[in-house]
Structure 1
């Protein structure tokens, strides 16, 4: 302890001399780290700006490609519309079949992504509408109805729309000229003679995302296929429009698909010079807030009478993408790592000497503490411990070993350890080493022989030390003597238990024989009483009067009831005597048979019976049939006064309390019982209802309890007065498990 607390003056002087060099090392390391990090930061700022400009230029070029692709797709739609216009120029009024063949040849689903179809809208005045309706009726197409209803000067209903999907058929008859946005685009196309695009509208057809937002393109069709030269003449010569509806989201997603979803887009309809803005499409994740990590680009262009602005924004980097550094980032990371390495090298050199000194002091203190722990363990251990040299002589021993040998600790060093034992094998054991405890005889210095347990194991000693092994000795004489006494008491107790078991078995046999003999001996006098009472009533009934005959009837009834009680007593005794024949029993089948017998015995009653199918248990089939007959018979009897009687047999939700057991129940909604007297239900001849209410002898539930207990189960009853009763009992799940336990 004193060695740990004291420090040498030369050690303190060396520590004082190392502190200035250590401080200079700290300063140098910090200067190197700050200078290198400053250079890395300057390079990173300039390289980051160059990389951001390059990314912005690449993003703008890609955004321009997307805008061009959108315009090209609209151009494809325009070509399809102009093909329809050419069809109307070549044929004054194409039939539905001709229009269907033209649209089918376009292969819209594969060639025109997002396009819902091509349709024709005639320009009709009121008189023209009536003529069209009459002509369609004569052709057998039925009445052509216009939506919305109402009288207007000019109509623009959808006459044809192919392909005829469910959504497209719902559009037929819709008056587009009556809706402001569609009317504006149709009138503009009529007056200019060019294809025109509507502002965003709600289409009647739903898109794949369940939304209706979309756009329509209109191409005017003039009479005789000739386009007049001025707007006024065009209004007179207009005969209709070929139009194409398409969903905005499908149209835009198809354009973005080749670019791998690297951008999110927002498209805004700026209008046709009126200054109003209408959102056409906006991708999820598009934000208006400033985000320094996202790239942005916008383009505005005129398109079919409308002006669109497309805002592009780069998507957030996917999960894990932040971990993929660019070349500049790799150089920056390498620069930071090199700076830290330089700092670490300089700092490590400054710490080397002081750390070595601290480690040496720590190891010396650890060794001292370890040695002190070993000394304390030797000193305060309750077991005898000794260190032996290569020749088997004691080098050091603790006080516990001295007490076991009956000597003082000072007298043991230098003595032969094997000489303390009576057994001749002690020398071989100590020479070879043995980690398992051995019980040997040890002779104390006072001549007393003690039994000890010895553990011997080799241990490495210090350099130059003669310690070769460690032995541990425990005196077990008193414990072994106590164990012998316990074993003797156990043998005596087993003999007593076996004797008491034989006496109990003999007493049970004698009790069963007594019950059987008494029941048979009681039958003879009971029959005599019953017989002479019957003869007395038959021969001398007129002499004894009505009261006498009533008394004789009571005597005979009491004798008959006594005979039935004797039968019940014999039945209980037979249940206890007969051996069990265990098999797997179909309880559902047995319950069904018992209920059928009860219904056959009383066919006038109507009782709802519920038997859960597939119930099985391991046991004696005859005893289990007796069990179910008693329980179901009780339920049948005690529901006699219930208007809507119900009896149920099934398996409880949880298994029995013991492994391998299954819990079943029999439930009824009959008379029930007071829960305070539930413990009396299973006692022989105990009844909770009078004989005038329900007949019986009070032996059925006692029989049930014995059958369940013979199978290793338990039974309990639940109920309330007027609310029915439930009997829950457990049986083995399988006959094999029951036989193994039995």
Structure 2
């Protein structure tokens, strides 16, 4: 408003100022919208990348857990070859006891050996076993198939005795895996089965490794069937095998892991919702929400197909996607308004702005003159503490020119073996977290003389509030320290005289 001339109305507003402000606002809002779209796409890509990494980790971890027991079975196959192709109960148990099953092969309930027996030879086979001391050996679980696959060795026996004498071929799922292992010569995983030795009767698997006479793979399915000596296997309890599998993904994913049955359907093995593993009865009916992040992956491990379904948890979706562009939109809109207002004010009050700019320039010039001509040493460093500027007082006090100091660490130029490292470490710890500090420190000048300085460190911030560097102000206190040292010595001498003076009494 004007004063002194009787004018009390508002200042006339320039049309150019309004137009300029409107243009800036339009451009700012357009850029904000484009930035929000870009941010949303970037957030979606990052969320998808995190989800894919977790899914890949789950797949790899599952494959590892299922595959590791094959090493123990192949070790047993080597031991069998060393025993001329025949295991006694004692030798088999000795091998299994030599392995730390819970640690080496989590989920494996034990190791066993299966022998192929023709039905016509079954009575003689059982009788031979009983004559060798296994008087309670019986066949159970058999179907009418002319060929049986009988579990003749199993260890630890106390945990697996229910499987001893089982005709594994009596169950179609077990038989299919056995015959596949025989024909391919490869370690083979069965479809999900109910392990007879599992008291909980939860889902499990048989991991089967074929053993051939002469100790090598004959090469063709027909030759493999002829040369079969037996099959080593490990009963795997799914609950134990999968324990802890999903925990790393808990903050991010809802998931469901299923294995394909012999009839082509999928049996749920593990389900997790919002970080909690569901009990089996809930996992069977659990269906992931049909969201934009839902995905399913089918993959095979040791000949068996698995289905892994995953989606971001609601909390993760909100955190990664729901508000990903909101801050940018609000901030961009506010910034656009502020910029438009700034343009308007600049256009409407150019003279005042120029005066303010000249005043600020004068202040900065005075500040630079003070820093340049002060007797104290002043250093400016970047965030990594490399020197970017020094004043003349630094050169006078320390002896190093600006050219010698630029790009160096203060410690490279000024510290010596007499510099207190505890004090230096305290400075570093403060600067590491962007804090200032004030210490007294012994330093060494370019000419080799030692001097004491009062060091004050202040952090410098950039326009975003981040750490841009540090300003270091050093005041020479060598004389004060020397005087203090002399005073301390004098006090010590007086105290010594007093302590050693002869008593007057």
TM superposition score category, shorter chain reference: 0.5 to 0.7
Taking a change above 3 Å as real, the CA distance of residues 107 and 140 of structure 1, as seen in their structure-2 partners, is same
Name 1:104's counterpart in structure 2: 97
Report the alpha carbon displacement of residue 95 of structure 1 after superposing the two structures with TM. Answer: 2.0
Is the CA contact 2:261–2:267 (under 8 Å) kept in the aligned structure 1?
A: no
Name 2:150's counterpart in structure 1: 157
Name 1:278's counterpart in structure 2: 266
Name 1:65's counterpart in structure 2: 57
Report the alpha carbon displacement of residue 336 of structure 1 after superposing the two structures with TM. Answer: 5.9
Report the alpha carbon displacement of residue 329 of structure 1 after superposing the two structures with TM. Answer: 4.7
Is 2:87 aligned against 1:89?
no
Taking a change above 3 Å as real, the CA distance of residues 100 and 313 of structure 1, as seen in their structure-2 partners, is farther
* CA displacement 1:538-595 (0-9 Å, x = unmatched): xxxxxxxxxxxxxxxxxxxxxxxxxxxxxxxxxxxxxxxxxxxxxxxxxxxxxxxxxx
* CA displacement 1:628-678 (0-9 Å, x = unmatched): xxxxxxxxxxxxxxxxxxxxxxxxxxxxxxxxxxxxxxxxxxxxxxxxxxx
Is 2:177 aligned against 1:185?
yes
* CA displacement 1:73-94 (0-9 Å, x = unmatched): 2321221221222222222322
How many residue pairs were aligned? Answer: 312
Specify every segment of 5 or more residues in structure 2 that has no aligned partner in the other structure, as ranges.
Answer: 1-8, 10-21, 274-285, 341-505
Paired residue for 2:116, among 104, 115, 123?
123
Name 1:240's counterpart in structure 2: 230
Name 1:314's counterpart in structure 2: 312
Distance 1:305 1:317 in 2: 36
Secondary structure in structure 1 of the residue aligned to 2:207: strand
Report the alpha carbon displacement of residue 193 of structure 1 after superposing the two structures with TM. Answer: 1.6
Report the alpha carbon displacement of residue 333 of structure 1 after superposing the two structures with TM. Answer: 4.5
Bigger relative contact order, structure 1 or 2, given CA contacts below 8 A and separation 6+? 2
Secondary structure in structure 2 of the residue aligned to 1:266: strand
Is the CA contact 1:136–1:143 (under 8 Å) kept in the aligned structure 2?
A: no
Report the alpha carbon displacement of residue 98 of structure 1 after superposing the two structures with TM. Answer: 1.9
Name 1:200's counterpart in structure 2: 192
Distance 1:300 1:318 in 2: 24
Is the CA contact 2:252–2:312 (under 8 Å) kept in the aligned structure 1?
A: yes
Distance 2:59 2:255 in 1: 10
* CA displacement 1:365-387 (0-9 Å, x = unmatched): xxxxxxxxxxxxxxxxxxxxxxx
Secondary structure in structure 2 of the residue aligned to 1:170: helix
Name 1:51's counterpart in structure 2: 43
Is 2:207 aligned against 1:212?
no
Is the CA contact 1:85–1:242 (under 8 Å) kept in the aligned structure 2?
A: yes
Taking a change above 3 Å as real, the CA distance of residues 162 and 313 of structure 1, as seen in their structure-2 partners, is farther
Secondary structure in structure 1 of the residue aligned to 2:240: helix
What is the 5 A alignment of 1:289-300?
Answer: 289-292=289-292, 295-300=293-298
TM-score for the superposition, normalised by structure 2: 0.52
Secondary structure in structure 1 of the residue aligned to 2:222: helix
Distance 2:251 2:148 in 1: 43
Distance 2:89 2:313 in 1: 47
Is the CA contact 2:188–2:207 (under 8 Å) kept in the aligned structure 1?
A: yes
Report the alpha carbon displacement of residue 49 of structure 1 after superposing the two structures with TM. Answer: 1.2
Is 2:66 aligned against 1:74?
yes
Distance 1:137 1:36 in 2: 90
Taking a change above 3 Å as real, the CA distance of residues 80 and 263 of structure 1, as seen in their structure-2 partners, is farther
After superposition, the CA RMSD in angstroms is: 4.0
Report the alpha carbon displacement of residue 266 of structure 1 after superposing the two structures with TM. Answer: 3.3
Paired residue for 2:106, among 103, 113, 138?
113
Distance 1:161 1:37 in 2: 73
Report the alpha carbon displacement of residue 270 of structure 1 after superposing the two structures with TM. Answer: 5.6
Taking a change above 3 Å as real, the CA distance of residues 51 and 96 of structure 1, as seen in their structure-2 partners, is same
Distance 1:188 1:277 in 2: 19
Report the alpha carbon displacement of residue 52 of structure 1 after superposing the two structures with TM. Answer: 0.4
Is the CA contact 1:114–1:251 (under 8 Å) kept in the aligned structure 2?
A: yes
Is 2:145 aligned against 1:147?
no
Is the CA contact 1:197–1:304 (under 8 Å) kept in the aligned structure 2?
A: yes
Is the CA contact 2:47–2:320 (under 8 Å) kept in the aligned structure 1?
A: no
Report the alpha carbon displacement of residue 181 of structure 1 after superposing the two structures with TM. Answer: 0.9
Is the CA contact 2:119–2:148 (under 8 Å) kept in the aligned structure 1?
A: yes
